[in-house]
């Protein structure tokens, strides 16, 4: 089994989403001791955002490009291959200004690739990687659940569910901690709840 582990929080050791994603990976390891884990810290080593130069270069011979574009093309290829090779993907999702960090969005833009993770057909788009198991480990400063008056402000989990479904992954699993910015007691309670959710994950899909 190949597992791809991603973190996106800029808070390092203070990050709740990192704690949750690590717990999810640890749970998968319990039942799969031979799992091969690839880790990518999108905050410490950001994947560059897409550029016009990158898109133009992607359809022409690499030898024609300057070293910076060649490096970007190679990195984009590695990022995509890591995702394609993964049987399980665990994503630590920070929640900034109602949505995902731009670092995570940059990674998503590299894996949403026509002919690789989706394709267009006469009947519309078709996802090509529906056999993957995806676990989202989300930490939010406030409360955005079904009973919240600001539920419609939540554009992280909803966005990720949309883009994953577009690629064929219809049912990602979600581990979450809410209200972590409300106060110390709520932060501890939210973290405890999130870790319990991670501990309850099945070890196999």
The pLDDT, as a whole number, for residue 67 is 86
**Are the C-beta atoms of residues 156 and 136 closer than 8 Å to each other?**
no
**DSSP symbol at 188:** H
pLDDT at 45: 97
- The whole domain housing 69 covers 2-199
The per-residue pLDDT string of the chain (205 residues; one tens digit each, 9 = 90 and over) reads: 999 999 999 999 999 999 999 999 999 999 999 999 999 999 999 999 999 988 888 877 655 678 888 899 999 999 999 999 999 999 999 999 999 999 999 999 999 999 999 999 999 999 999 999 999 999 999 999 989 999 999 999 999 999 999 999 999 999 999 999 999 999 999 999 999 999 999 998 6
Residue 85 falls within a domain, yes or no?
yes
* Residue 80: Cβ-neighbour burial (10 angstroms; 0-12, 13-18, 19+): middle
Please give the biggest Cα pair distance in the chain: 57
**Inside any domain, residue 204:** no
Please count the residues of the chain: 205
In a domain, 158, yes or no: yes
Q: Is 67 part of a structural domain of the chain?
A: yes
Q: What CATH number is associated with residue 98?
A: 3.40.50.360
What is the pLDDT, as a whole number, of residue 49? 96
Q: Would you state the pLDDT for residue 179?
A: 97
Give the CA distances from residue 205 to residues 28, 131, 132, 169, in Å, rounded to whole numbers and listed in that order. 10, 10, 9, 13
The number of folded domains in the chain is 1
Whether residue 148 is annotated as binding a ligand: the answer is no
Is the residue at 28 inside a domain? Answer: yes
HSE of 79, CA atoms in CB hemisphere, 13 A = 26
CA neighbor of 113 nearest in space, from 60, 167, 159, 165: 167
Residue 8 assigned as binding residue: no
Token pair of 138 as six digits:
């989300």
C-beta separation of 175 from 17 below 8 A: no
Q: Write down the pTM of the prediction.
A: 0.95
Residue 119: strand pairing partners: 126
3-state class (DSSP) for residue 9: coil
> Is residue 59 part of an annotated ligand binding site?
no
Continuous segment of H or E residues that includes residue 69: helix 67-85
> Does residue 205 belong to any structural domain of this protein?
no
| Distance separating alpha carbons of residues 37 and 26, to the nearest angstrom | 11
Is 90 one of the annotated binding-site residues?
no
């Amino acid at each position: 089994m190949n597992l791809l582990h991603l973190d996106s929080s800029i808070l390092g050791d203070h990050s709740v989403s990192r704690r949750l994603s690590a717990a999810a990976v640890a749970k998968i390891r319990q039942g799969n001791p031979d799992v091969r884990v690839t880790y990518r810290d999108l905050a410490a080593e950001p994947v560059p955002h897409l550029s016009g130069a990158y898109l133009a270069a992607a359809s022409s011979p690499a030898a024609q490009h300057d070293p910076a574009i060649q490096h970007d093309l190679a990195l984009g290829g590695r990022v995509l291959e890591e995702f394609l090779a993964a049987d399980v993907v665990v994503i630590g999702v920070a929640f900034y200004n109602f949505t995902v960090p731009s670092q995570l969005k940059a990674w998503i833009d590299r894996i949403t690739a026509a002919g690789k993770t989706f394709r267009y057909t006469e009947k519309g788009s078709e996802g090509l990687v529906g056999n993957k198991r995806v676990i989202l480990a989300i930490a939010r400063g406030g409360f955005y659940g079904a009973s919240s008056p600001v539920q419609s402000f939540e554009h992280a989990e909803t966005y990720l569910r949309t883009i994953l479904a577009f690629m064929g992954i219809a049912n990602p699993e979600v581990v979450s901690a809410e209200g972590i910015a409300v106060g110390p007691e709520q932060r501890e309670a939210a973290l405890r709840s999130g870790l319990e959710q991670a501990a309850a994950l099945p070890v196999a899909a």
